[in-house]
Amino acid sequence: MSDNSDNNGYWAANIRLVKICLVIWALVSFGFGILLRPLLSGIPVGGTDLGFWFAQQGSILVFLALIFFYAWRMNSLDKEYGVEE
């Protein structure tokens, strides 16, 4: 049964990581890019504001970072819990 509880720990750690990543994912796109844009309108970026930058450039860069961060963290979690291939 210890094997099973290990798997549960692994899964819980994974879910925690997924949640953190998805919060950031939503914040940069729906948040900074759309809903919170008025709040960022005071920060000028090249003729417009930070919200516009997030909508057309920033969010994509953050998405990239998120996927690589997740892959790197998960691959080390795999080893930590001994469930790698």
Partner 1 sequence: MDQFTLNLLVVGATFALYIGIAIWARAGSTSEFYAAGRGVHPVTNGMATAADWMSAASFISMAGLIAFTGYDNSSFLMGWTGGYVLLALLLAPYLRKFGKFTVPEFIGDRFYSSTARMVAVICLIVASVTYVIGQMTGVGVAFSRFLEVDVSTGLFIGAAVVFCYAVLGGMKGVTYTQVAQYCVLITAYTIPAVFISLQLTGNPIPGLGLFGEHTASGEPLLAKLDQVVQDLGFNSYTGHHADTFNMLLFTISLMIGTAGLPHVIMRFFTVPKVADARWSAGWTLVFIALLYLTAPAVGAMARLNLIDTVYPNGPQAEALMYEERPDWMKNWEVTGLLKFEDKNGDGQIQWYNDKSEGFAATATANGWQGSELSVNRDILVLANPEIAQLPGWVIAVVAAGGLAAALSTAAGLLLAISSAVSHDLFKGQLTPNMSEKAELLTARISMAVAIGVATYLGLNPPGFAAQTVALAFGLAAASIFPALMMGIFSKRVNNTGAVAGMLTGLIVTLVYIFLHKGWFFIPGTNSFSDADPLLGTIKSTSFGAIGAALNFTVAIVVSRATEEPPQEIQDLVESVRIPKGAGAAVDH
Q: Which residues bind partner 1 (CB under 8 A)?
A: 7, 10-11, 14, 18, 21-22, 25, 29-30, 33-35, 37, 45-49, 52-53, 55-57, 59-61, 63-64, 66-68, 70-71, 74-75, 78, 82-85
Going by C-beta distance under 8 Å and a sequence separation of 6 or more, which residues neighbour residue 37? 49, 51, 52, 54, 55
Least Å distance between CB 41 and partner 1?
10
Least Å distance between CB 1 and partner 1?
13
Rg of the chain taking only CA atoms, in angstroms: 18
Distance CA 35, CA 84 (A): 40
